[in-house]
Amino acid sequence: MSRIVLVHGMGQEQESADSLEAAWLPALAGGVRTAGQPDLADRLWRQGRPGDLECRMAFYGDLFLAQGRMGGGQTVDDLTPQQQDLATALAVEWLRQAEERAPLEEDRDEAYRQLYALASEAPGQMGVRASGRPVLNALARLRWFAPAGMAFAERFADRSLAQVTRYLTEQAVRQEVQERIAAHIGPETLAIVGHSLGSVAVFQAAHRLERKLPLLLTLGSPLGLRSLVYDRLPEDKTVPARVQRWVNLSDRDDLVAAVLDLQKLFADPRGVLKSDWTLNTGAQPHRAQSYLTKPQTGAAIADALG
């Protein structure tokens, strides 16, 4: 059982719980330190080692490995035709987000050109009729998706789309992820932190809680994608009843966080949910560690730990 439960996002199939804890914990301690709580930060991570506050990663990336394949990760080509339609719709939504608010003007222009080329009639009226591969190729042309080059962007987009789609459409995958999260939650758990696809998983996990949770923290969350994610959630579109505080953090440049203000979408009569999209997470705006180091993250964790 853990005081803080961490849940990663998409594209982590080559990692492990241990490797992600080793990356996340120093970043989280840094956020707490930046928020003015150095003693608490030392209890999370100090001198290259975890402190006395138990923080564990609920790892599920291995569920998306393709055995015997170079690179190892499942791709959109591994999905059923129905799943490929959803993956394509997600890719189109990422292009639309890029057209509207990508930080680089060249990306906004490129997204517009790609949407126009893929459109059945006119820009902004595209149905989900284009095959997945042209949409993936279009994403790979955006610098937002390609900080390490087009080949990386194609792999990242392909595998990320496949993973999000499988999580949303396969009950067995969702159930296994939920069981792995639940295995780390106990009476002493004070915070659950979910990044990217992990934020969807922790929202669902929070609805299953039987005891109070001081903090649900979601980072770079796609929960607000209406027809693609939000409308597919079987849970009530409310703040989970056992959650005492829900903090949702996002960077305006993070295209995965399509809807920045979740307060508009989730019923919150207790005033528990707060969204903050003033973060600046730098050149890789969706990167988990960039969210974890921010004082807003640290302050939320410090409040939960008391």
pLDDT-derived band at 258 (thresholds 50, 70, 90) equals confident
- The share of the chain scoring above pLDDT 70, in percent, equals 91
Q: Which of 278, 199, 277, 276 is nearest to 240 (CA)?
A: 199
pLDDT at residue 284 in the model? 87
pLDDT at residue 75 in the model? 86
Average pLDDT over residues 115-125: 63
| 50 backbone dihedrals φ, ψ, rounded to 5° | -65, 150
pLDDT at residue 129 in the model? 43
Which strands, in side-by-side order, build the sheet including 55-58? Answer: 55-58, 4-7, 191-195, 215-219, 246-251, 273-279
Helices (H), the chain: 17-34, 38-44, 81-101, 105-118, 132-140, 150-169, 171-182, 197-207, 288-292, 295-305
Assess contact for 140 and 150: CB atoms under 8 A. yes
Give the amino acid at 214: P
pLDDT digits (tens, 9 = 90+) for 178-211: 999 999 999 999 999 999 999 999 999 999 999 9
pLDDT at residue 239 in the model? 98
User: In the predicted model, is pLDDT for residue 121 greater than 50?
Assistant: no
Overall residue count recorded for the chain in this entry: 306
Q: Which is more confident, 199 or 130? A: 199
Using only C-alpha atoms, the chain has a radius of gyration, in whole angstroms, of 19
- How many CB atoms lie under 10 A from the CB of residue 66? 15
Q: Which of 167, 139, 10 is nearest to 83 (CA)?
A: 167
pLDDT at residue 128 in the model? 41
Structure tokens at 220: 């770079």
pLDDT at residue 131 in the model? 52
pLDDT-derived band at 122 (thresholds 50, 70, 90) equals very low
Whole-angstrom distance, CA of residue 158 vs CA of residue 11: 9
pTM above threshold 0.85? yes
For residues 28-55, one letter each, b for 16 or more C-beta atoms within 10 angstroms of the residue's C-beta and e for the rest, the string is bbbbbbbbebeebbbbbbeeeebbebbb
Whole-angstrom distance, CA of residue 200 vs CA of residue 206: 10
195 beta partners: 219
pLDDT digits (tens, 9 = 90+) for 51-80: 999 999 999 999 999 765 555 678 888 999
Helices and strands of the chain, counted as H and E runs = 10, 8
Average pLDDT over residues 86-94: 90
pLDDT at residue 138 in the model? 82
